[in-house]
Chains A and B, each alone.
Chain A
Amino acid sequence: DGGITQSPKYLFRKEGQNVTLSCEQNLNHDAMYWYRQDPGQGLRLIYYSQIVNDFQKGDIAEGYSVSREKKESFPLTVTSAQKNPTAFYLCASEDRGKPDTQYFGPGTRLTVL
């Protein structure tokens, strides 16, 4: 089945540690996105990538980093510089031939202890 996977579903980390969230898609989509969602709020864009080896900062990129070495994969690293990292992280992809419709992974819920 085609789709987007994110792992792990739940992640706990100690303050001061970096952590990497996985996002993989087999939909052959060029564009991929990372969002953050806090309770009772909408999604805020962290980073996005329209093509392999290229990515752009979104609205809240500080304290995060990404890479896009393969079309299928867009991992997000939450660094110790992110002051309030506890949140629900959602990865999405989009078919540039059918723009605007984003497909989301199931999300990773990160808790910093």
Chain B
Amino acid sequence: RKEVEQDPGPFNVPEGATVAFNCTYSNSASQSFFWYRQDCRKEPKLLMSVYSSGNEDGRFTAQLNRASQYISLLIRDSKLSDSATYLCVVNINTNAGKSTFGDGTTLTVKP
């Protein structure tokens, strides 16, 4: 079993749709959590951190469920520009070298 697992998709949704991605992690000692966005053949870029209380940034909402060991990303009112691969990242601790990346979920938003 992988340490961080994501549904690879692809998710194909129309503009304006709401879409949610889940990510599960196996190490209960994990301390910090993130969503990164990666466009085709480009580097990943931090989309948002995920806090225990949940956090929202515009159309994006991230939530953490420590008891069930999963994090989620909700995108409301999808735009064409949201098309990308979304990577879930889990850190065991704040020491360098402990980031584990999921394989990513691919989203395509269509007109």
A residues contacting B by CB (< 8 A) are 31, 33, 35, 40-45, 48-50, 56, 58, 88, 90, 94, 96, 99-107, 109
Contact = CB atoms under 8 A, between A and B. Distances in A.
A31 B95 CA distance: 10
A44 B94 CA distance: 18
Q: Is the interface of A mostly helix, strand, loop or mixed?
A: strand
A109 B43 CA distance: 11
Contacts of A88: 41
A94 B89 CA distance: 15
16 contacts: A41-B103, A41-B104, A42-B4, A42-B101, A42-B102, A42-B104, A48-B96, A56-B96, A90-B44, A99-B96, A100-B34, A100-B99, A104-B43, A106-B42, A107-B42, A109-B41
B103 A33 contact: no
B45 A40 contact: no
Nearest to A106: B43
Given A40-B8, A45-B97, 7 more contacts: A35-B101, A41-B104, A48-B97, A100-B32, A104-B43, A104-B44, A105-B43
